[in-house]
Chains A and B, each alone.
Chain A
C-alpha cells in the first residue's frame, strides 16, 4: 500500500430526459475527468444513462442515522398534508 489513496467519487446518472439524476454507486479516480470516464465504463454499459454527474464523496454532508427520529417522525403524524385527508362529495368528480 504505497502512496496516497485514490479519491472516491459518487456517481449520479440521469436515465432519460426529464428524470432527475439518481445515485447509482461510487468509484475511485485521480481526478474529475478520469472519474467521468470510469463512471461511463462502470455504470452505463447498457445504455443506462444520458447524463452523468460525479461528486467527490467528501463533499457530501449526510444526516446522522441517530437523528432520524427527530428529523422524520414529525411528518408521520401530519396526515392533513395528504389529499386523502379531505372529504369531498363523490359528485364533485376528480379533484
Chain B
C-alpha cells in the first residue's frame, strides 16, 4: 500500500530508544526473507537508509531524462525519435514509482524534491556527463541502462516491499532501453567509417563513468555492511561491477568496437575479465558537484520546478473552488 497518510505516526521518545526485542524480531523476519511493509515496525536507521537510497534512485531517474532529452529533437529518424521519447517517458514514470515507494517511509514528495533542488540529496554520478553526439544516446542505452539493470535486478528481492515492487515494474520496462541503445550502436558501427568512429568515441567517453556507477570499491564503501545485513543489498559494488564487465566485453566484440582499457584481459582461471584501475578521484569530484554538467543539471531541474509552480498552484486552487461549490450546492 502506497499510502502516505497511514505513515504519519508520533515520533515518541520510546520508539527512538528502540526496543531490543523488536530489533531482534525485525532481523529475524529479514533473515526469513519476509518483506517489510510500510506500517511494520522498523529500526530508524533502516528507514533512514531506505529513504536516502530510494529517493536518490528517484532523483537519478528524473535527472536522467536531461542528457537524453538533449537529443529528442535531433534524433536521425522518426523511428529513433519515437523510441527515445518512449524511453524518456519511462524514466519519468520510474522516478514517480520510486518517489511513491520512498514516501511510504514517511517523507513527503515535496520534501524529497526539495532535497534534490537544494543540492542536499545526491543522484547518480553518470548523469553529470554531457551527450555530445547521437552515438551517446546509443552508449547510454547500452551501457548506462545495462549497468542500471545489473543493479536493479537484485533490488527486486529487496527486503522492503514497496521498493521491491517498484523495481519489478522498472525492470520489466527497462529491458527495451538497453536493446534500443545497442541497436543504435550496432547501426553506427556497421555504417560509414565516420559513424563507426562516432560510436567508438562515445564508448571511450562512457565506459569509465559507467564502471563508476556501481559505487566505490567494497573496501571503501560506507553503507554496504548494514545494507547487506538488512537485505537491501544482495551483491557488493565490486561483484556487480564485475558482472557488468563480463557481460559487456562480448557485446563490444560483436559491435567491432574496443573498450578503452589497455589492461583489460581474461583471467583464464576464474573466467572473469580483469579491468584496469578506475579513477576514483574523478568519481569523487563528480559526486562533490564538480562534474562536467552538475551545475547545468540542477539549474535545469530548478527552472522546470519554478516554471511549474503556477500550474501546481492553479490546479490546487481549482480543486478547492470545485469543493467549495459542491459544499454550497
Which residues of A approach B to under 8 Å, CB–CB? Answer: 1-8, 10, 23, 25-31, 34, 41-42, 45-46, 57-58, 60, 62, 64-65
Using A5-B109, A25-B100, A65-B39 as known contacts, say yes or no to A30 and B2 having CB atoms under 8 A apart. Answer: no
Which residues of B approach A to under 8 Å, CB–CB? Answer: 1-6, 37, 39-40, 86, 89-90, 93, 96-97, 100, 103, 108-111, 114, 166, 169, 173, 309, 312-313, 315-316, 318-319, 322
Whether B89 and A58, one on each chain, are in contact in the complex, defined by CB atoms closer than 8 angstroms, is: no
Whether B93 and A45, one on each chain, are in contact in the complex, defined by CB atoms closer than 8 angstroms, is: yes
Q: Give chain B residues whose Cβ lies under 8 Å from the Cβ of A64.
A: 39
Other A-B pairs beyond A5-B110, A30-B315, 18, CB < 8 Å: A1-B111, A4-B316, A5-B109, A8-B2, A10-B2, A10-B3, A25-B2, A26-B2, A28-B109, A30-B312, A42-B93, A42-B96, A42-B97, A57-B6, A60-B1, A62-B6, A62-B39, A64-B39
Whether A6 and B39, one on each chain, are in contact in the complex, defined by CB atoms closer than 8 angstroms, is: no
Using A6-B109, A30-B318, A45-B90 as known contacts, say yes or no to A60 and B313 having CB atoms under 8 A apart. Answer: no
Q: Give chain B residues whose Cβ lies under 8 Å from the Cβ of A26.
A: 2-4, 100, 103
- 12 residue pairs of the A-B complex, CB under 8 angstroms, read A3-B313, A7-B319, A25-B97, A25-B100, A28-B109, A30-B319, A31-B315, A31-B319, A42-B93, A45-B86, A57-B5, A62-B39
What's the nearest-Cβ distance from chain A to residue B219, in Å? 38
Q: Give chain B residues whose Cβ lies under 8 Å from the Cβ of A7.
A: 319
Q: How far is the CA of A23 from the CA of B173 in the complex (A)?
A: 18
Kindly identify which residue among A4, A5, A27, A31 contacts B318, using a CB–CB cutoff of 8 Å. Answer: A31
- Interface pairs A-B: 10 shortest CB-CB: A30-B315, A26-B2, A31-B319, A30-B319, A57-B3, A58-B5, A1-B110, A26-B100, A30-B316, A8-B4
Whose C-beta in chain B lies nearest to the C-beta of A11? B2
Whether B37 and A34, one on each chain, are in contact in the complex, defined by CB atoms closer than 8 angstroms, is: no
Whose C-beta in chain B lies nearest to the C-beta of A31? B319
What's the nearest-Cβ distance from chain B to residue A6, in Å? 7
Whose C-beta in chain A lies nearest to the C-beta of B101? A25
Q: How far is the CA of A46 from the CA of B114 in the complex (A)?
A: 31
Whose C-beta in chain B lies nearest to the C-beta of A68? B40
Q: How far is the CA of A57 from the CA of B109 in the complex (A)?
A: 14
Q: How far is the CA of A46 from the CA of B6 in the complex (A)?
A: 30
Whether B1 and A23, one on each chain, are in contact in the complex, defined by CB atoms closer than 8 angstroms, is: yes
Whose C-beta in chain B lies nearest to the C-beta of A32? B319
Whose C-beta in chain B lies nearest to the C-beta of A23? B1
What's the nearest-Cβ distance from chain A to residue B116, in Å? 12
Whether B96 and A27, one on each chain, are in contact in the complex, defined by CB atoms closer than 8 angstroms, is: yes
